[in-house]
């Protein structure tokens, strides 16, 4: 029994979503080949020899990139059982079925994928997919990273000293206890999360350290969903690997509620905290059900600074409620909070994505602007009531794309000028930040979800 596991894109990381099921399948006696198309080519013989070809679809971009590959694999090996698994597999089940997928598995997929492979090997009917409401509690296994490109093939951390570090990736929890309306995790996990045992997390990190990794990205949707578990993980991490650094994602609400833990993050090697700030506009934050206000953002920024932690915010800069004036106010808020160097330029261009299953689709203010589902973009289209806002977004994203190697500040200044011009507003000089660019650690992989 041969299984081919394919990833198309995972934000410059060695795909956890291949390594974890590979451990389950190999443990069940399945011969596994892993291919990360973001870093290597697909060999025809690995396709033609596989009885099961499974695509890891954790995010929107990965799913879009998988579509032509699924078509190619169907023509190369029409008898292979095709499967999609991961967050976006469930959200795009009908599309995957149309493409010829025989099985579509959810976010907690390892056990189901193993059962599917065993059924195919034994010639028994493939197991039925779990009910939408069920979310299994898996007995997690240590991911098996054999056969994947080495960590040196992936994104690198540029740390606060100007040095680079080889980056690894793991997850200490999966899912999320929150229900932000724009988040693709919500339709699948529905406010639930699962904790990965500490010994599994540390063993996975240890394996990556042996491969040269010196920084770990914790991919937990929110590291503080289970703060006691999270703190135990990083304390054990620091005890075991005192020179290792790491980064985590924590929502504003949790940064404030668990502020007492921020110093521990700093002391255990946290290089930076990503936080989905999304907007400074309280109306937009309310529609997104983010659980924080613009005032909370300022408090969280201050809290992180006091603790000596670098905060790197992410945004949904363009929404149906963005105006030319509010976009300028958004840039002003970034500048006032001294965050210009902490914001990756792509964040200044992100447009609200409405994938299949998005909870936002049922919100009355979204229903007024949303169009048809775009099968190429794998999202619902929407146009801003003011075409000048859509035009500005197109200009901003083009500008970001053209200036890939420029400093964040230089790109921000160009967007600052452009936005004020388009809004026909006086363009005030941009205040100098107090922090030097080199002091902000960052991963050298553009961010697309
Ligand atoms: S807190 Fe983050 S991961 Fe959780 S639902 Fe909100 S956006 Fe999604």
Query: 66 and 89 in contact (C-beta within 8 Å)?
Result: no
Indicate whether residue 231 lines ligand 1 (CB < 6 A): no
How many angstroms separate the alpha carbon of residue 246 from the centre of ligand 1? 20
Structure tokens at 5: 């596991």
Query: 127 and 135 in contact (C-beta within 8 Å)?
Result: no
Ligand 1, pocket-test mutation among 176, 193, 284, 313, most atoms within 8 A of CB:
176
Instruction: Tell me the domains of the chain and their CATH numbers.
Output: 2-122 (3.40.50.280), 151-443 (3.80.30.20)
Indicate whether residue 174 lines ligand 1 (CB < 6 A): no
Length of the chain: 449
Write down the pTM of the prediction.
0.95
Query: Among 41, 30, 174, which Cα is nearest to 109's?
Result: 174
How many angstroms separate the alpha carbon of residue 219 from the centre of ligand 1? 12
SS (H, E, C) the chain: CEEEEEECCCCCCCCHHHHHHHHHHHHCCCEEEEEECCCCCCCHHHHHCCCEEEEECCCHHHHHHHHHHHHHHHHHCCCCEEEEECHHHHHCHHHHHHHCCCEEECCCCHHHHHHHHHHHHHCCCCCCCCCCCCCCCCCCCCCCCCCCCCHHHCCEEECCCCCEEEEEEECCEEECCCCCCCCCHHHHHCCCEEECCHHHHHHHHHHHHHCCCCEEEECCCCCCCCHHHHHHHHHHHHHHCCCCEEEEECCHHHHHHCHHHHHHHHHCCEEEEEEEEECCCHHHHHHHCCCCCHHHHHHHHHHHHHHCCCEEEEECCECCCCCHHHHHHHHHHHHHCCCHHHCCHHHHCCECCCCCCCHHHHCHHHHCCEEEEECCCCEEEECCCCHHHHHHHHHHHHHHHHCCCCCHHHHHHHHHHHHHHHCCCCCCCCCCCCCCHHHCCEECCCCCC
Instruction: Per residue of the chain (449 residues), give pLDDT as tens.
Output: 999 999 999 989 999 999 999 999 999 999 999 999 999 999 999 999 999 999 999 999 999 999 999 999 999 999 999 999 999 999 999 999 999 999 999 889 999 999 999 999 999 988 876 666 678 899 999 999 999 999 999 999 999 888 999 999 999 999 999 999 999 999 999 999 999 999 999 999 999 999 999 999 999 999 999 999 999 999 999 999 999 999 999 999 999 999 999 999 999 999 999 999 999 999 999 999 999 999 999 999 999 999 999 999 999 999 999 999 999 999 999 999 999 999 999 999 999 999 998 999 989 989 889 999 999 999 999 999 999 999 999 999 999 999 877 899 999 999 999 999 999 999 999 877 655 544 788 888 755 54
Q: Diameter of the chain by CA atoms?
A: 71
How many angstroms separate the alpha carbon of residue 290 from the centre of ligand 1? 8
In angstroms, the CA 61 to CA 449 distance is: 6
343 CB-side CA count, 13 A? 34
Ligand 1, pocket-test mutation among 182, 185, 225, 352, most atoms within 8 A of CB:
185
Indicate whether residue 250 lines ligand 1 (CB < 6 A): no
Indicate whether residue 182 lines ligand 1 (CB < 6 A): no
135 CB-side CA count, 13 A? 19
How many angstroms separate the alpha carbon of residue 275 from the centre of ligand 1? 10
Indicate whether residue 247 lines ligand 1 (CB < 6 A): no
Structure tokens at 74: 């169907």
Number of neighbours of residue 34 by Cβ within 10 angstroms: 26
Indicate whether residue 222 lines ligand 1 (CB < 6 A): yes
Indicate whether residue 178 lines ligand 1 (CB < 6 A): yes
How many angstroms separate the alpha carbon of residue 184 from the centre of ligand 1? 8
Question: What does the pLDDT read at residue 404?
Answer: 72
CA dihedral (391, 395, 397, 401) positive or negative: positive
Indicate whether residue 270 lines ligand 1 (CB < 6 A): no
Indicate whether residue 281 lines ligand 1 (CB < 6 A): no
In angstroms, the CA 63 to CA 317 distance is: 23
Question: What does the pLDDT read at residue 208?
Answer: 98
How many angstroms separate the alpha carbon of residue 180 from the centre of ligand 1? 6
Question: What does the pLDDT read at residue 106?
Answer: 87
Question: What does the pLDDT read at residue 368?
Answer: 87
Name the closest-CA residue to atom 3, ligand 1: 221
80-100 per-residue burial string, b: 16 or more CB within 10 A, e: under 16: bbbbbbbbbbbbbbebbeebe
Q: Which atom of ligand 1 is nearest to the CA of 185?
A: 8
Question: What does the pLDDT read at residue 160?
Answer: 86
Return the CA Rg of the chain: 22
Query: 378 and 390 in contact (C-beta within 8 Å)?
Result: no
Structure tokens at 19: 């390594």
CA dihedral (316, 318, 324, 326) positive or negative: negative
Question: What does the pLDDT read at residue 65?
Answer: 97
């Amino acid at each position: 029994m041969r299984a081919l596991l394919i990833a198309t894109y995972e934000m410059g990381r060695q795909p956890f979503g291949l390594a974890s099921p590979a451990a389950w399948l190999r443990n069940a006696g399945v011969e596994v080949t892993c291919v990360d198309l973001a870093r290597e080519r697909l060999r025809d013989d690995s396709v033609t020899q596989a009885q099961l070809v499974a695509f890891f679809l954790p995010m929107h971009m990965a799913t879009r990139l998988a579509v032509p590959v699924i078509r190619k694999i169907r023509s190369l090996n029409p008898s292979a059982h095709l499967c999609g698994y991961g967050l976006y597999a469930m959200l795009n089940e009908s599309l995957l079925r149309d493409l010829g997928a025989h099985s579509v598995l959810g976010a907690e997929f390892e056990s189901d994928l193993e059962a599917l492979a065993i059924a195919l090997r034994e010639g028994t009917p493939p197991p039925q997919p779990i009910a939408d409401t069920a979310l299994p509690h898996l007995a997690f296994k240590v991911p098996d990273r054999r056969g994947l490109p080495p960590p040196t093939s992936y994104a690198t951390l540029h740390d606060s000293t100007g040095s680079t570090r080889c980056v690894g990736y793991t997850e200490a929890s999966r899912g999320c206890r929150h229900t932000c309306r724009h988040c693709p995790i919500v339709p699948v996990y529905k406010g639930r999360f699962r904790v990965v045992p500490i010994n599994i997390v540390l063993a996975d990190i240890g394996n990556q350290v042996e491969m040269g990794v010196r920084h770990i990205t914790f991919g937990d949707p929110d590291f503080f969903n289970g703060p006691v578990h999270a703190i135990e993980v990083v304390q054990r991490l620091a005890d075991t690997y005192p020179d290792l650094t790491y980064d985590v994602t924590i929502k504003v609400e949790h940064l404030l509620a668990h502020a007492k833990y921020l110093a521990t993050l700093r002391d255990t090697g946290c290089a930076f905290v990503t936080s989905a700030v999304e907007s400074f506009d309280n109306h937009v934050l309310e529609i997104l059900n983010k659980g924080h206000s613009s005032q909370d953002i300022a408090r969280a920024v201050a809290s992180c600074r006091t603790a000596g932690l670098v905060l790197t915010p992410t945004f949904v800069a363009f929404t149906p409620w963005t105006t030319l004036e509010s976009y300028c106010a958004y840039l002003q808020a970034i500048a006032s909070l001294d965050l210009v160097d902490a914001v990756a330029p792509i964040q200044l261009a992100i447009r609200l994505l409405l994938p299949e299953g998005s909870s936002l689709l049922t919100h009355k203010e979204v229903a007024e602007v949303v169009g048809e589902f775009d099968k190429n973009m794998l999202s619902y289209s929407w146009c801003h009531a003011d075409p000048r806002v859509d035009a500005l977004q197109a200009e901003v994203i083009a500008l970001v794309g053209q200036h890939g190697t420029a400093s964040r500040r230089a790109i921000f200044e160009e967007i600052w000028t452009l936005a004020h011009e388009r809004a026909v507003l006086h363009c005030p000089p941009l205040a100098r930040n107090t922090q030097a660019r080199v002091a902000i650690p960052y991963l050298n992989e553009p961010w697309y979800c």
